[in-house]
Chain A
Amino acid sequence: MSALEVAGARGAAVRLTSLQRRYGSSFALADVDLEVEPGRFLVLLGPSGSGKSTLLRAVAGIDRIDDGEIAIDGKVVSGPRLHVPPEGRGLAMVFQDYALWPHMTVAQNVGFALRRSRRDDARVGATLDRVGLGDKAGAFPDELSGGQQQRVALARALVGEPRLVLFDEPLSNLDAHLRERMRIEIATLTRESGATAIYITHDQAEAFALADEIVVLDRGRVRQRGAPEQIYRDPASAFVARFTGLSATMRGRLRALDGRVATVEVAGGAVQATCTMPVARGAEVELLVRPAAVRLCVEGPAAIRGAVVDVAYRGGAYDHVVDTELGRFASVGASTPLQRGARCHLVVEPEGAFAFAL
């Protein structure tokens, strides 16, 4: 039995059935069905207002639901006439604004979560050591940097060895360099603990880096669920494709379809793309192109002519913005830069270009 399997056995199973939450006449969550297997790291990805925070707070028991059911390890904890309070759900949470109690020391903040399980306070020191804050036990939160505060929040969530940990956009308040370090700490420590994790974010790069599985939410509904690779390669809708990273979008008409590979006529030419959903020949489509599917090339029959509008150094490579006869392409990568105004040619790989019916 591997370490991962041992760890996985500790996580809780979570099941959401026909979950609904209304604010007035609008739905924050509309018939959400979701199951999370024990020990999995699930990321809920969506824009502001998609319902991901509402969903997480409902699972935590901070907010109530209007209809449907939430069950943790088979035990129903939320329903239209039932609400187990947060302290009765046996979970932990890392908040976006850290939510550290300002009048308590780091050790007291972390130790709070131990009283529920009546465990030894010695665990506090060990957990703080694990997050690299062993020497900060007596400090108050306002004496710590943003990254240190978030690590205290992580220690508080993990110290009681909960079977379910919820993450509410924990990296959104951190600087870019700290964000990457904290992401790694969250990923490793949570997986080590074996707990099931539900993590919400609006950042697709963060979601792809962390998740075993991603659920894309939009206006209170689940739009797609799958492994990160699947979401990236086979977006189920234009919304999912748009939200998970694009270089260019354009409108066109489907001219031919060969299996999943379509030929789309756009103003100024034709592009080959993938159809992940059925589209009728002759239908108007939206064409969405991933950055990874666009590259600079030498002149040729399939090449798209263009001119460089802007170039940005991204550390090791260059991102170009190129205006072409088909439209503007952003994030066109190359290891050497082209000058602004330089003529160039692009090629689009059909695997990374998607056509969806309008």
Chain B
Amino acid sequence: MVGLIGPASPATRLGRAARVRSAAPVPRALLLRLLRPDALLWIVIVAILVLPIALFLLVAFSPAMFQQGTDWFSVAAFGRALQGSALVGLADSTGVGLAAAVLATVVGGALAWVAMRTDAVARQAVTGLVFALFLTPSYLIALGWQRLIEPNGVLQVLGADPSGFRGVFYGPVGVVTVLAVKGMPFAYLAISNAVRGLGSEFEDAARVHGGGPLAAARLTVQLLAPAVWSSLAIVFAESVSDFGVADTLANAAHFPVATYALYSAVQAFPVDFPLASAVSWLLLLLVLAALALQGRVLRGRRFRVLSGRARAPRRTRLGGRGQAVWLVSVAALMVVSLGVPVFGAVSASLIDGLGSLAGTHRWSLANYVRVVQSPDLGSPLVYSAGMAAITATVALLLALACARVLAARSVSRAARLLDAVLLAAVALPGIVFAAGFIFAFNLPVLAAAGIQLYGSNLLLALAYLATALPSTTRLLVGSVAQVQENLAAAARVHGGGAIRTWLTISGPILLRPLVTAWLLTYAGTLLELPVSQLLAPAGSEPISVGITTALGKYDFGGGTAMEVLAILSALAVVGLAFGIVRVAAPRGWRRLGAAA
């Protein structure tokens, strides 16, 4: 029996209160409150999410407060952010963001429609493509293209001359292409969910009441409008927040974008935090503007198309020519989105001496041998794998705690606040997180308090955790909310204690979402770029930094071999985890996952 506190008489209570007051009145009570699980969760959220970002965003307005200038209130940093290369970066980000949003929505929407509403062959392959693109960081897609078409790159080694194409691709066209490829999964999921929920009865009703096929199609487009606007807003927000393309293709093409301007301000000597903060504000405003515009356009136009009575839609027969067009289109999409980057990376990793004018450029496994044998090339993968495993595990535990608060039957004020904080954090670009951490954990007040985390593995892990926690929580909330509270209550009523209930009931029911969330967080952290780039401690190099450093030194073979090995290791971990679940989990647990 747990938690028995006997009722005390008023006299006893008074006496006890008096004793407590005379000894250590507030601190002990406060300590006990702070040690409650919900209070601990909030301490972590405030320490890694709220404070670093809030302080960092504040420095744009009050440099003197943080000894970053003499003004206690000033908007001068915004003046600097809105001129010169920073302004060009902001304008470029807006332009490529809009173009990528439209392109991704058109392609993703078309894919969703064909996959959901026609009998196109091999339409299941679309789902595989979408999830592969979800897991692939944008810098790896950009680097794959670069390896193919750069001077002395793979195509040149193979005897082709890509210089004309390179002139076009190294600039806004290439940046928009890669961002649209990276945004396509978001567009596909937003629109396919809406198409899936759109039963045929809406079209049928239009036809029955005298509308022709065109009227029915117009009605369908109107019903899908909310999903299309969502897709545009999400892809735009993702694109302007992206740092992977900014650091690779855009940088190589001398095409400035806002996230790189922010990075440059933090990397400058002396560090210009007020400018970085102002650029972050402008980036945030861009993201919020997109979301606000979406909300404004959709005001009063959200349709509830999902109901228990919706009939499954009929699939349109495509015919021979239609199937051929579909197959060619989807093959072309696969080539552009994944084929070229994979071919670029794999082929570059297999060519000895790629990137240098000297050498024989033979095909060999020498680059892989170097990665395995050289500590400089091999240790980043081991380091990142360890950090990713730790981050994924801690993020999973915290996300589960957050998800339980968010999915609770009675929504408290604290839950609403937590929801708002996590939603805002999802919208924050990773580079802003990284800059916020550098700024907040360099503050003199922390050093004075004896907290010196800057430059440590712990700070990098905390920053990874901060970037992973919001999205991991989002991944789990739906699953946790679906589990009826009565399942755990029934176990408790029938004799299971809290731990046994978790181990035998809640844990197994949530096993598959938990494993999936862990793996997605692991893979995302393993290849994470902006936080790694800015917060990697001296002497420890994460794999993403290792890859870009090797490529920066024109060791294209070594860099791409690291890239290939990193992705293979991530796939191996995914395979291993699902394999263990398949072999070790009892039949009932696996049935549950399959049904879900």
Contacts and interface: CB of A to CB of B under 8 A. Distances in A.
A156 B494 contact: yes
B497 interface: yes
- Chain B interface size range: 20 to 34
Contact of B4 (A84, A101, A116, A140): A84
B496 A112 contact: yes
B106 to A, nearest CB: 41
Given A85-B2, A99-B487, A93 B493 contact: yes
Contacts of B490: 93, 95, 99-101, 156
A157 B588 CA distance: 21
A17 interface: no
A87 B492 contact: yes
Nearest to B501: A87
Interface in A92-127: 92-93, 95-97, 99-105, 108, 112-113, 115-117
Contacts of B498: 85
Contact of A103 (B484, B494, B495, B508): B508
Interface string B1-44: 11111111000000000000000000000000000000000000
Given A99-B484, A99-B487, A103-B509, A116 B494 contact: yes
A328 interface: no
Contacts of A92: 493-494
Interface string B495-509: 111100000110011
B586 interface: yes
Contacts of B7: 76, 79-82
B445 interface: no
Nearest to A93: B493
B592 interface: yes
Contacts of A100: 490
Interface in B189-214: none
A103 B587 CA distance: 8
A83 interface: yes
Contacts of A97: 484, 486
Interface in A239-268: none
A57 B6 CA distance: 21
A62 B2 contact: no
Contact of A82 (B5, B491, B588, B595): B5
B489 interface: yes
Given A86-B493, A87-B497, A103 B2 contact: no
A39 interface: no
A235 interface: no
Nearest to A95: B486
Contact of A142 (B5, B491, B495, B595): B595
A105 B489 contact: no
A46 interface: no
Nearest to A112: B494
Interface string B556-595: 0000000000000000000000000000001011011001
Contacts of B497: 85, 87
A140 B495 contact: no
A157 to B, nearest CB: 8
B141 to A, nearest CB: 39
A303 B444 CA distance: 95
Looking at A60, A62, A91, A103, the one whose CB has the most chain B CB atoms below 10 A away is A103
Contact of B495 (A76, A99, A115): A115
B6 to A, nearest CB: 7
A103 B591 contact: yes
Given A62-B489, A86-B489, A97-B486, A113 B589 contact: no
B588 A85 contact: no
Given A103-B508, A103-B588, A103-B592, A85 B3 contact: yes
B2 A101 contact: no
A137 to B, nearest CB: 13
Q: Interface size class for chain A? A: 35 or more
Contacts of B2: 85, 88
A160 interface: yes
Contacts of B588: 102-105, 108, 140
Interface string A50-64: 000000010011100
A144 to B, nearest CB: 14
Nearest to B6: A82
Contacts of A142: 595
Given A103-B509, A142-B595, A61 B492 contact: yes
A83 to B, nearest CB: 6
B493 A61 contact: yes
A260 to B, nearest CB: 45
Contacts of B484: 97, 99
Contacts of B505: 101
Contacts of A112: 491, 494-496, 504
A160 B589 contact: no
Interface string B30-69: 0000000000000000000000000000000000000000
Nearest to A23: B410
B493 A160 contact: no
Nearest to B595: A142
Interface in A120-173: 140, 142, 156-157, 160, 166
Contacts of B6: 81-82
Contacts of B487: 99, 101
Nearest to B592: A103
Contact of B496 (A23, A87, A166): A87
Nearest to B498: A85
A82 B7 CA distance: 7
A61 to B, nearest CB: 7
Nearest to B585: A103
Contacts of B489: 57, 60, 62, 86, 95, 99
Contacts of A108: 588
B495 A87 contact: yes
A102 B591 CA distance: 9
A85 B492 contact: yes
A157 B496 CA distance: 13
A76 B7 CA distance: 10
B493 A60 contact: yes
Given A101-B487, A102-B509, A81 B492 contact: no
Given A80-B7, A92-B493, A101 B1 contact: no
A289 B497 CA distance: 51
Contacts of A81: 5-8
Contact of B3 (A84, A96, A105, A115): A84
B494 A160 contact: yes
Interface string B506-517: 001100000000
Interface string A156-197: 110010000010000000000000000000000000000000
A88 B1 contact: yes
A166 B486 CA distance: 14
A99 B509 contact: no
Contacts of A91: 493
Nearest to A108: B588
A342 B132 CA distance: 74
Contacts of B3: 83-85
Interface in B516-549: none
Nearest to A117: B495
A62 B486 CA distance: 9
B410 to A, nearest CB: 8
A1 B425 CA distance: 70
A100 B592 CA distance: 13
Interface of B: 1-8, 410, 484, 486-487, 489-498, 504-505, 508-509, 586, 588-589, 591-592, 595
Given A88-B1, A101-B509, 14 more contacts: A61-B492, A62-B492, A82-B6, A84-B3, A88-B2, A95-B489, A96-B486, A103-B586, A103-B592, A112-B491, A116-B495, A140-B591, A157-B494, A160-B495
8 smallest CB-CB distances across A and B, nearest first, come from A116-B495, A99-B490, A86-B492, A103-B588, A99-B486, A113-B494, A88-B1, A93-B493
10 contacts: A85-B2, A85-B497, A87-B496, A92-B493, A93-B490, A99-B490, A101-B491, A102-B509, A103-B589, A113-B494
